[in-house]
Amino acid sequence: MSFDFVNPFMLVGLAGVALPVLSHLLSKKKYDTVDWGAMQFLELSRNAQRKLRLEEILLMLMRMALIALLAFAFARPWLSGSLLAGLGSKQNRDVVIILDGSYSMGWEGKATTPHAAGIQWAHEFLEELQSGDTVSLLDARDNVRPVIERPTLDFSKVREALTELPSPSGTSDLTEAIIKAVHLLNSADNLSREIVIITDRQALGWSPTEQNLWARIDNLLQQPAIKPRLWAIDVSGSTTDRKVNFTVDQLQLSRELSVKDFPIRFKTKISASGTETTVTRKIFFEVDEQRLTEKTLLVQIPPDGEATVEFEHKFDSLGSHLVSVVLEADPLPGDNRSDAAISVTAALPVLLVDGQPNFDPTASETFFTRMALSAPSNFTPWISATVLPADQLQPADFQVPEVVILANVARLSAEVTAALSQFVASGGGVLVAPGDAVDAEFYNSQLFADNTGWLPASFQAIQSSEQNDLGRTQIVSDSLELPWLTRFRRENKGNLTNARFSKWWKLEPAVATAEIPVDEENPSETEEIEPHDLPPATSVARFDTSDPFLILRSFDRGNVAVMAVPLDADWGNMPSKPDYVAYLHEIIFNLAQGKAQRNLNAGEPVSFPVPPELNPDDYLFKGPDETEFEAEVVGDDSEISIRLSDTTLPGIYRFEQKNPAEHNPQLAQIFVVNFDRTESDLTTLTDSDQLLLTQNDRLKFIDTAEDAEQEMLADESKSEIWHLFMLLILAILVFEVVMTRRLVQGGHAVNDDDDDEFPTDHTDNDSPSTENQTRAAAQPQEPAMN
């Protein structure tokens, strides 16, 4: 037998028990006593006074009990035990169903996938619930999706939501789903509270070794007055046989923004698990869901190993495109493909800001860069370059270009600096190529700004090859690890690393804002200079002196790169290398992709600018399984952007016109929300893992529906007993009325007894008013009700 309260905080009302006592004490007012002759006939006897005093105290105790019982009733006390179970008492339940939505639940090795079996189990479970039970539904994926967040009594609503659940995708975090479920049950009303986790017993989602995480869950479970019970339902139907699975990893792109006929490289890994011999698998390459048979590969994968595959493709049409690398089918389809979105545009507008203009064009800072990007003989350039002297630069010049290159620019005016910062924040790209004219103090104080500005590195000092023993300095081939830089490595016959440099700027990369030490003497000042949550800068290429050659960093929606050398031939012979043209194109296209990032992770919002003439009401987003989302409009009349915040479902999202008859492929936009491939690890919970999870009666695993009915739905009864307290309150109220009436009538009886004890001769001369006054004086005053 156990006893507790649903709302224990209501017991604070017990403090009101003191009110009748206070009322009784306050009513005991003292008066001056004046003796006069007739008083002897009005005084009560000692027995009568004692009797009245006892009745007053009894009445006060009843009122105190009345307040106490009300407080107990509002606290909703409950009992549980075999006695109530034997009497047939049954209490309603609040249930939160957590359905594992990860792609391991899509295993097709059986007649029914675990996900379909889980949905069917949930339908059958709803049949066992009774009227008055409430149900919530959570979809556990990379992010926990509340399908039905507010507990509902309408089971048909739950059934409809189960039927409309998307196909399994991404990974699952069951611990986060449990925490979410506990918070939902904190506002529940019923005595029985259940969290039912329907999963395939895969170890990954449970994190059994994360004891700190489970200690947090234990603490949450103990906080409510009624502890929720956790049940894990295994719907995998699996055996102990090791599962064989093949996985294609997330695609690595050389760029996601390109132009027509410009090659893009795609690289990924194919992994095998559960294999004991080398296996050959077919790998397909698809563009806009059309399989290119000429690019089909046969790949040999070693036992429990991996193999790397690469593709290259040129797009011959403008617009948004979908690229997919697909494995031949196996029992787990969720990891058999990897997608990427590519945007193909016309010539990319780039602004070259010349810091050292010259009447001789060949002597200017931007001569080699302009010729490499937009040579006069090239009538269809991939990049449309415009040159502007630094002293003529105005804020309005940043409205058209996608990328701005500062070529040995000494400094900028305050207005231009502010406009350039806004250009970067809104998604523009900037490449800083410094030379001997650069004012390091300006760049460090205004653009780097103690690690909080958009410049990814600070300028330290100019170095020269005479300061080391290596002769003329070169770029280290092994440092070129980014997908768009690997083509310039020596093993790939790249010649960028053959360039030699006599001078370069020593750069100090920025760190993440979270790593900035706080000034203990002035912590408030340190916080004021951190307006952005900035990631650290990355050195993606270095010299053989270990100094950085190229440093990258993202700032808000934009991307910024700073080189250690200028783009002309003053400090080296890089412009003379054939890879110089390709290097400029690669870095510019990578810097330009900030305005509309098309390949995201689950939970990251989709955001991209649209022309003012586009009517967002005519468009919508279509996500995985044909889910539809209304487009969110942000910005003002000068710059309108479309945003989609709900990207919890991994997969392909398309922004297209609502009316299919008006569909224009040139206006449609494609985005891909990627997911973690660790879900491909199909290792199940071991006995030791299960022991860790079930310790202290925290969780119980159930394998069959019969076990669920016996253990979950046939538990010992719990019953609220507040209605018994209400009956006691009614009884006390009735008794109080009787007591009050007794006190009122008691005055007459006492007076009569006094008349018998002190007889008087009632003559005609006795005044009726005197008799009435005598009775009134003997009648006690009714205590005030509180």
> Which tokens hold the place of 290?
């059309």
- Neighbour-count burial for 560-576, b at 16+ CB within 10 Å, e otherwise: bbbbbbbbbebbbebbe
**Beta strand pairing call for 538-542 and 548-555:** antiparallel
pLDDT 10s digits, 716-726? 556 666 667 77
pLDDT for the residue numbered 717: 56
Q: What is the domain class of 94-238+687-716 according to CATH?
A: alpha beta
Dihedral angle at the C-alpha atoms of 763, 764, 765, 767, nearest 10 degrees? 100
Question: How far, in Å, are 409, 476, 494 from residue 486 at the CA level?
Answer: 29, 12, 9
Q: How far apart are CA 660 and CA 624, in angstroms?
A: 18
> Which tokens hold the place of 333?
């389809």
In DSSP terms, 429 is beta-bridged to 403, 559
pLDDT for the residue numbered 45: 60
Question: Over 380-436, what HEC string results?
Answer: CCCEEEEEEEHHHCCHHHHCCCCEEEEECCCCCCHHHHHHHHHHHHCCCEEEEECCC
CATH fold label, 245-345: Immunoglobulin-like (2.60.40)
Q: What are the residues whose beta carbons fall under 8 Å from the beta carbon of 524, sequence distance 6 or more? A: none
The residue whose two tokens read 């000092």 is: 461
pLDDT 10s digits, 586-602? 999 999 987 778 999 98
In DSSP terms, 387 is beta-bridged to 352
Residue 119: Cβ within 10 Å count: 19
- Judge whether 245-345 and 599-674 match in fold: yes
Question: How far, in Å, are 96, 210, 392, 455, 541 from residue 509 at the CA level?
Answer: 49, 35, 30, 9, 12
Residue 139: Cβ within 10 Å count: 24
Question: Which of helix, strand or coil describes residue 100?
Answer: strand
The residue whose two tokens read 């008006």 is: 662
CATH fold label, 599-674: Immunoglobulin-like (2.60.40)
The helix or strand, by DSSP H or E, that contains position 5, with its residue range, turns out to be strand 2-5
Q: How far apart are CA 733 and CA 251, in angstroms?
A: 77
pLDDT for the residue numbered 381: 85
Q: How far apart are CA 739 and CA 583, in angstroms?
A: 100
Question: Which of helix, strand or coil describes residue 22?
Answer: helix
Q: How far apart are CA 357 and CA 367, in angstroms?
A: 9
DSSP one-letter code for 231: E
The helix or strand, by DSSP H or E, that contains position 261, with its residue range, turns out to be none
pLDDT for the residue numbered 65: 80
The residue whose two tokens read 């006592």 is: 21
In DSSP terms, 321 is beta-bridged to 342
User: How many angstroms from the chain centroid is the CA of residue 474?
Assistant: 45
Q: Where are the domains of the chain?
A: 2-80+722-778, 94-238+687-716, 245-345, 348-520+533-594, 599-674
Question: How far, in Å, are 301, 302, 304 from residue 277 at the CA level?
Answer: 9, 7, 8
Q: How far apart are CA 97 and CA 626, in angstroms?
A: 24
Domain 348-520+533-594 has CATH 3.40.640.10: no
The count of C-alpha atoms lying within 13 angstroms of the C-alpha of 690, restricted to the half-sphere facing its C-beta, is 13
Residues of the chain with pLDDT under 70: 1-7, 9, 24, 27-52, 76, 78-90, 238-241, 467-471, 513-533, 636-638, 663, 665-666, 705-706, 709-710, 713-723, 742-786
In DSSP terms, 634 is beta-bridged to 641
**Beta strand pairing call for 429-433 and 558-563:** parallel
Closest alpha carbon to 174 in 148, 193, 200: 200
Q: Are 508 and 461 in contact (CB under 8 A)?
A: no
Alpha carbon distance, N-terminus to C-terminus of the chain: 36
pLDDT for the residue numbered 637: 63
> Which tokens hold the place of 539?
């050195």
User: How many angstroms from the chain centroid is the CA of residue 324?
Assistant: 28
